[in-house]
A and B are shown apart, each in its own frame.
Chain A
Amino acid sequence: MKWGVVVFPGSNCDSDCIYTIQDVLKQPVETLWHQDKDLRGVDAVVIPGGFSYGDYLRTGAIARFSPIMKAVEAFAKDGGLVLGICNGFQILLESGLLPGAMLRNTGLRFICRFVTLRVERTDTPFTNRFERGQVVRMPIAHNEGRYTVDPATLKRVSNDAVFRYCNEQGELIDAANPNGSTACIAGITNSAGNVMGMMPHPERAAEPALGSSDGRLVFESMLNACAASR
């Protein structure tokens, strides 16, 4: 399975994603520059975290118009696997590939720490290696992570939430919602299930030395899904 990691000016988690795919999963990976117009035949695209285009105007607002995103949008509409992490999630929201938008954390602070997440769905290409209801640990590192969606859309997409912020017992309580996200949503897929965005960083939790290996399962799930579709 050939992976692609998109690099924008201001991306800063691209190397971590490449490391996870190449050194932890032992899979080939292509670096896709934001000015590229094609995806060089990759089987899955990862849009990493960072501050693409300096977060000017709104997070992800400028990145979504870069040449590579036209190719990513076509790839996603064709059923290709696309994972957006943190700023990558924000870019997917801006591009309309996922529903909703991001606002500043309710506490107005940049939050960088481990959080606990409840796995809501295991029938997606991104979570087939998890158990339903499993509580996992991954770090977040963001200032604009308050997932926001209007009530009507929430009704429609609630079932597409894949990860929700929770306490260690798996309960969805306000105290465990670090940024004020609607319905504690930390990660969500599109209705087709082939595009997922998540604020927590699975690539920063892919080896025991990093304090958690739970994030590795996201990448392994994608590997599984890709192998199964062949």
Chain B
Amino acid sequence: MLAKVTVKLKTGLLDAQGKVVKGALEGLGFKGISEVRIGKYIEIDLHGLAAPAAKAALERMCRQVLTNPVIETYHVEIESSAAKPIAGKSKKTARRRVLKASARRVKVRK
């Protein structure tokens, strides 16, 4: 299964990078931007674990290594491995599998 981890800076902390990017976007004439915040996106391909064990392991990974709880929050989404198009199948079948899998997506934590 594929775990997608999004790491964000905690609300209220100054995101210096985001501020500079906002300035650049506005400099290009983009209007209506109230804030830009930059985070991290991590994909972890897991195998051999049942969904509950994987969720628990991902929680531990996030808390111990992937984030620093003093400054960051995280969000984990798990996609079952069926989401990957399987070689040899027609594009149509693969696409259907992807759609089915996205419907099964589990939100672990906000």
Chain A positions within 8 Å of B, measured between CB atoms, are: 57-58, 61, 65, 93-94, 100-101, 103-108, 146, 148-150, 180
Contact = CB atoms under 8 A, between A and B. Distances in A.
6 contacts: A57-B65, A61-B65, A101-B71, A103-B71, A148-B71, A180-B14
B87 interface: no
Given A103-B16, A104-B17, A105-B16, A57 B71 contact: no
Contact of A58 (B16, B17, B68): B68
Given A57-B65, A61-B65, A149 B70 contact: yes
Interface of B: 9, 13-14, 16-17, 20, 65-66, 68, 70-71
Contacts of B70: 93, 100-101, 148-150
A107 B16 contact: yes
Contacts of A57: 65-66
Contacts of B71: 101, 103, 148
Contacts of A148: 13, 70-71
A78 to B, nearest CB: 23
A62 to B, nearest CB: 8
Given A148-B70, A148-B71, A150-B70, A103 B65 contact: no
Nearest to A109: B16
Nearest to A148: B71
A108 B68 CA distance: 20
A103 B17 CA distance: 11
A101 B68 CA distance: 8
Contacts of A61: 65, 68
A9 to B, nearest CB: 18
Contact of A108 (B9, B16, B66): B16
A108 B65 contact: no
Contacts of B13: 103, 148
Nearest to B69: A101
A12 B83 CA distance: 44
Given A103-B13, A150-B70, 10 more contacts: A57-B66, A58-B68, A93-B70, A101-B68, A106-B14, A107-B16, A108-B16, A108-B17, A149-B70, A180-B14
Q: Count chain A CB atoms within 10 A of each CB in B14, B16, B17 and give the residue with the most.
A: B16
